[in-house]
Amino acid sequence: MTLCIAKATPSNLVISSDGRGIFELGNGELIKASNSVKKLFVIDGKAVFICGDAKLNMEVIEILQGNNNTNSNFIKEACHAVLEKNKDKEIIKDWFKKSENDDYESVSAIPICLTVFEYISEEGYFFTKFSIKDNFESEKCKLKSGVTLFQGIETDEAQKTFKSKGLVSNIDGLVEKMVDTYNDLEKKYDSIGGDVSIVIFTRNEIQDYTIKRNDNLNEELNMSLVSKTGDIVLNEDGIVQTDTIQLAENVDSTHGLKLKFYIDEGMISVRKVMLNFSLEKFRAYSKGALSKVIDLHTTESSTSIVTSSGPTGGSGTAVTEGSYTASGGHNHGISPGTQLATAGGGSVTWVASGGHQHAVVMADHQHSVIILPHEHDITMPAHDHGIDYGIYESTFATDVQIIIDGVPRGSTYNSSENNVNITEWISTVGWHTVELTSTQLGRINASLYLKTFVAF
């Protein structure tokens, strides 16, 4: 149960909601459970007001915050997802049972109901309501300047009380008028009261803060610093922290690129983790070693004993040819002029034969030669080989897979440039590892962007 008051001016939109949390007993009695329930949120540059069952509505809010998405179709899908998840709960079953007879008045709280406020450039301020009553079908409505919108409970009484506060001339006066209205209504209704949440739209920024009940406007507490996109950058709980890790590395089928990072124990939520990587050619920074001419010196030959066996498998015939050359005579060991007796008597004088030759025919044969073991000393002077500097490239990284904390995620990537949102797989504190693998030699240039909301 809650009440939202929104008023458009020519240059601003001011939205407020109370912080009263109510618990209803089985007998219909209402118990004040809290005065600081948050019902107004800034998401994706828009303000989202929830009305009805707090737990079910907060499940929807968490989906919207986790994806930073307030697109109408996405909100509708988120509402249906929460409804399906909780379809067996009594509040859902009771709603559908009584809605068959249009008996909405007897329902203690509408299960899921959201109103989204936004500024559209050159057009103005708009609101869109998503309710289980209409199956979350929505229509964007313009909130004209000077018009005040009341949503939730006791809207008629709220309108009368708000009007009775008179006219105001500035934003501070309008906020004070809203707070006074909640204070007056709290005196009459247990279901309204507590802290007042305020969101102020201008064309370029959004202010989001909470006013403690009965506090003076100059003593506002729980102030939040909100970016132009609607993200809370700083509040009493913590601050946004961003980090970027970059690494370029050669890879192959057995060596991947690894990015390691740490999420602090004070992390409240992981807003976004983006992985960007490009697939490149393997790269080395030298093309080889330069060759060099050097002089090598060996020792002189050393004496070795070589033993040869006699000829084997050979026979031959010597023939004295009938013609002689002019030189090269021989005397068979007998001095010229020696008298030699003949067989028939008498003698002859020995004369050395003239130059002649013998033809020797020797059949094929072989010799076995045995060379004893020996060594030669080689002297090599000191020298070096210079490096041929340059960039050498080879094949591209291919069929790249993303492995997060040891588990393969996503698909296989072959595009030269890749942007992958891996937020859903990074949700815990401590060390995490993102590894990129390739099926062949290549190079990967990777960057990891991390955005978290961390407590002080």
The domain that holds 281 is classified in CATH as 2.60.120.380
Say whether pLDDT at 355 is over 90: no
Q: Tokens in use for 169?
A: 């001339």
User: 341: burial class by Cβ within 10 Å (0-12, 13-18, 19+)?
Assistant: exposed
Query: Across residues 308-312, what is the average pLDDT?
Result: 60
Give the model's confidence band at 408: pLDDT under 50 very low, under 70 low, under 90 confident, else very high.
Answer: very high
On whether both 19 and 60 belong to a single domain, the answer is yes
Q: Which domain holds residue 394?
A: 240-286+390-455
On whether both 225 and 261 belong to a single domain, the answer is no
On whether both 115 and 160 belong to a single domain, the answer is yes
Q: Tokens in use for 396?
A: 């591209």
* Closest among 170, 156, 241, 157 to 7, alpha carbons compared: 170
On whether both 347 and 220 belong to a single domain, the answer is no
Question: Which one has a higher pLDDT value, 295 or 423?
Answer: 423
The total number of structural domains that make up the chain: 3
User: Nearest 5°: CA angle at 444, between 440 and 448?
Assistant: 140
| 216, 192 Cβ separation under 8 angstroms | no
What is the structure's pLDDT at 356?
61
Say whether pLDDT at 272 is over 90: yes
Give the model's confidence band at 287: pLDDT under 50 very low, under 70 low, under 90 confident, else very high.
Answer: low
Asked whether the whole model's pTM tops 0.85, one would answer no
226-270 per-position pLDDT tens digit: 665 656 777 777 888 999 999 999 999 999 999 999 998 888 889
What is the structure's pLDDT at 97?
84
Q: Tokens in use for 328?
A: 């090269």
What is the structure's pLDDT at 27?
46
CB atoms inside a 10 Å sphere around CB 409: 15
Is 291 domain-assigned? no
Is 294 domain-assigned? no
Q: What whole-number distance in Å separates Cα of residue 111 and Cα of residue 88?
A: 13
Say whether pLDDT at 306 is over 70: no
Query: Across residues 446-450, what is the average pLDDT?
Result: 96
Residue after which a domain boundary falls, among 221, 236, 251: 236
Query: Across residues 37-46, what is the average pLDDT?
Result: 91
On whether both 34 and 165 belong to a single domain, the answer is yes
On whether both 246 and 356 belong to a single domain, the answer is no
* Closest among 137, 190, 147, 170 to 28, alpha carbons compared: 190
Query: Across residues 114-124, what is the average pLDDT?
Result: 90
Q: What whole-number distance in Å separates Cα of residue 395 and Cα of residue 253?
A: 12
On whether both 64 and 100 belong to a single domain, the answer is yes
Residue after which a domain boundary falls, among 350, 383, 416: 383
Mean pLDDT of the chain: 82
Side chain identity at 411, as an amino acid letter?
S
On whether both 109 and 232 belong to a single domain, the answer is yes
Is 298 domain-assigned? no
Is 61 domain-assigned? yes
Q: What whole-number distance in Å separates Cα of residue 172 and Cα of residue 170?
A: 6
On whether both 181 and 93 belong to a single domain, the answer is yes
Q: Tokens in use for 250?
A: 């050669």
What is the structure's pLDDT at 323?
46
Is 292 domain-assigned? no
* Closest among 212, 220, 178, 214 to 13, alpha carbons compared: 178
Say whether pLDDT at 216 is over 50: no
On whether both 370 and 433 belong to a single domain, the answer is no
Q: What whole-number distance in Å separates Cα of residue 6 and Cα of residue 185?
A: 16
Is 438 domain-assigned? yes
What is the structure's pLDDT at 221?
42
On whether both 171 and 315 belong to a single domain, the answer is no
CATH number at residue 198: 3.60.20.10
362-377 per-position pLDDT tens digit: 777 787 878 788 777 7
What is the structure's pLDDT at 220?
41
User: 455: burial class by Cβ within 10 Å (0-12, 13-18, 19+)?
Assistant: exposed
Is 297 domain-assigned? no
76-104 per-position pLDDT tens digit: 999 999 999 998 888 888 888 877 776 65
- Residue 362: CA count within 13 A, CB half-sphere: 9
What is the structure's pLDDT at 54?
84
What is the structure's pLDDT at 110?
84
The contacts of residue 262 (CB under 8 Å, 6+ apart) are 430, 431, 432
CB atoms inside a 10 Å sphere around CB 279: 22
What is the structure's pLDDT at 66?
92
On whether both 210 and 260 belong to a single domain, the answer is no
Is 296 domain-assigned? no
